[in-house]
């Protein structure tokens, strides 16, 4: 603020008047700056409020869509069960009652029909479990991840029989979360690492945690079949699979369940891989969780 005081007289009255003028001018400038500042704060607040409203709207729409999808998969799974049971029942009846009148070819067809109904039944079970995971309320508590992961590795012993896995288990912290759901996350990720290293003569599975910015980063890394990184994001979708069932069995729901659970805990999920060079799957949890 530049001074407009110009001393032309030494008369104290003049001096006082000049100083008063200067003070009034300064006051006017301060007032106008305050008004300008108020206006800017108001504009900024309005913009922020509009952005917040838009975000809330988007969130509400996303949540509604999620709920709708979950309710849909739940009822689809239920409604699919009845016709499937009929199909299974009548095929079995045909096998038992008319089996000896049928040609070997026709009996083979019946066997294939039954096998397909079993596959479909597994898919429905998995879809139901996905819908349940998505709908069940979270029950957050303090969860010690080190023993939990040890239990999961022990639980997956059948997938390790006859194999020597080189396990690299890093230090894992305690987190806040739903224990049963977090167990499901590790079961799916470690289960995948075991499954997709099946053809690897020297399987190595590394599990660890790195502190990140306001979050904890967890990973499961293997040196198995790997995958084309082009599809890294797709793998988290329902029923998305890159490997043929004749090579690696599965429904393609494990990673979708992992993503849903981690999202519900406020975290993120992603995967990295290269064909023949193994895969690493990551998830984060907020630090306070």
Ligand X SMILES: Nc1ncnc2c1ncn2[C@@H]1O[C@H](COP(=O)(O)OP(=O)(O)OP(=O)(O)O)[C@@H](O)[C@H]1O
Q: Pick the closer one to ligand X by CB: 143 or 185.
A: 185
**Cβ of residue 251: shortest distance to ligand X, in angstroms?**
4
Q: Does 73 bind ligand X (CB under 6 A)?
A: no
For 257, residues 6+ apart whose C-beta sits below 8 A from its C-beta are 129, 130, 133, 184, 185, 188
Q: Does 133 bind ligand X (CB under 6 A)?
A: no
222 binding partner (options ligand X, Mg ion, none; Cβ < 5 to 8 Å by kind): ligand X
190 binds, among Mg ion, ligand X, none (CB under 5 to 8 A by kind): none
Is residue 251 a contact residue for Mg ion (CB under 5 A)?
no
Q: How many whole angstroms separate alpha carbon 73 and alpha carbon 75?
A: 6
271 binds Mg ion (CB under 5 A): no
By CB under 6 A, residue 165 contacts ligand X = no
Q: Kindly state the smallest distance separating residue 122's Cβ from ligand X, in Å.
A: 9
Q: Which residue, 254 or 267, has its beta carbon nearer to Mg ion?
A: 254
Asked if 224 is part of the footprint of ligand X (rule: CB under 6 A), the reply reads yes
Q: Which is nearer to ligand X, 216 or 253 (CB)?
A: 253
Pick the piece of the chain touching ligand X (CB under 6 A) from 36-44, 94-102, 198-206, 218-226: 218-226
Considering only the stretches 32-40, 167-175, 215-223, 252-260, report the one whose residues sit in contact with Mg ion under the rule CB under 5 A: 252-260
Does residue 273 bind Mg ion (CB under 5 A)? no
Angle at 194 between CA 204 and CA 200, to 5 degrees: 55
Task: Check binding of 204 to ligand X (CB under 6 A).
Answer: no
Q: 165 touches which of Mg ion, ligand X, none (CB within 5 to 8 A by kind)?
A: none
Q: Which 187-206 residues touch Mg ion, going by CB under 5 A?
A: 192
DSSP string for residues in the chain: -----------HHHHHHHHHHHHHHHHHHHHHHHHHHHHHHHHHHHHHHHHHHHHHHHHHHHHHHHHHHHHHHHHHHHHHHHHHHHHHHHHHHHHHHHGGGS-HHHHHHHHHHHHHHHHHHHHHHHHHHHHHHHHSPP-EEEEEHHHHHHHHHHHTGGGGTT---EEEE----EEEEEHHHHHHHHHHHHHHHHHHTTT-SS-EEEEEEEE-SSEEEEEEEE-SS---GGGTTGGGSTT--SS-TTTS---S-HHHHHHHHHHHTT--EEEEEETTTEEEEEEEEETT-
Q: Is 192 in the site for ligand X (CB under 6 A)?
A: yes
* Among 258, 288, 110, residue whose Cα is nearest residue 191: 258
**Residue selected from 177, 254, 267, 273 as contacting Mg ion according to rule CB under 5 A:** 254
- Options 186, 227, 282, 283; binder of ligand X; rule CB under 6 A: 227
Return residues touching ligand X (CB under 6 A).
126, 188, 192-193, 196, 222, 224-227, 235, 240-243, 250-256, 273, 279
Return residues touching Mg ion (CB under 5 A).
192, 254
């Amino acid at each position: 603020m530049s001074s407009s005081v110009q001393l032309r007289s030494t008369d104290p009255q003049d001096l006082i008047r000049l100083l008063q003028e200067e003070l009034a001018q300064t006051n006017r400038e301060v007032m106008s700056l305050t008004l300008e500042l108020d206006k800017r704060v108001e504009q900024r607040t309005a913009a922020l409020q509009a952005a917040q409203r838009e975000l809330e709207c988007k969130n509400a729409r996303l949540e509604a869509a999620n709920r709708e999808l979950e309710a849909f998969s739940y009822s689809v799974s239920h409604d699919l069960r009845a016709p499937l049971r009929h199909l299974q029942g009548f095929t079995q009846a045909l096998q038992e009652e008319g089996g000896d009148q049928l040609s070997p070819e026709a009996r083979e067809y019946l066997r294939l029909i039954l096998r397909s109904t079993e596959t479909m039944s597994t898919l429905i079970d998995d879809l139901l479990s996905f819908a349940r995971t998505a709908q069940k309320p979270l029950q957050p508590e303090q969860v010690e991840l080190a023993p939990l992961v040890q239990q999961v590795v022990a639980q997956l012993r059948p997938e390790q029989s006859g194999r020597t896995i080189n396990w690299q288990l890093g230090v894992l912290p305690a987190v806040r979360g739903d224990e049963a759901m977090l167990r499901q996350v590790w079961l799916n990720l470690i289960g995948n690492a075991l499954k997709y290293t099946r053809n690897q003569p020297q399987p190595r599975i590394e599990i660890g945690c790195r502190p990140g910015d306001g979050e904890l980063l967890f990973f499961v890394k293997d040196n198995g079949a790997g995958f084309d990184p082009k599809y890294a994001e797709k793998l988290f979708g329902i029923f998305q699979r890159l490997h043929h069932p004749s090579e690696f069995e599965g429904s393609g729901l494990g990673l979708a369940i992992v993503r849903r659970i981690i999202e519900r805990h406020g975290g993120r999920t992603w995967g990295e891989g290269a064909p023949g060079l193994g895969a690493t799957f990551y998830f984060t949890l907020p630090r306070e969780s």
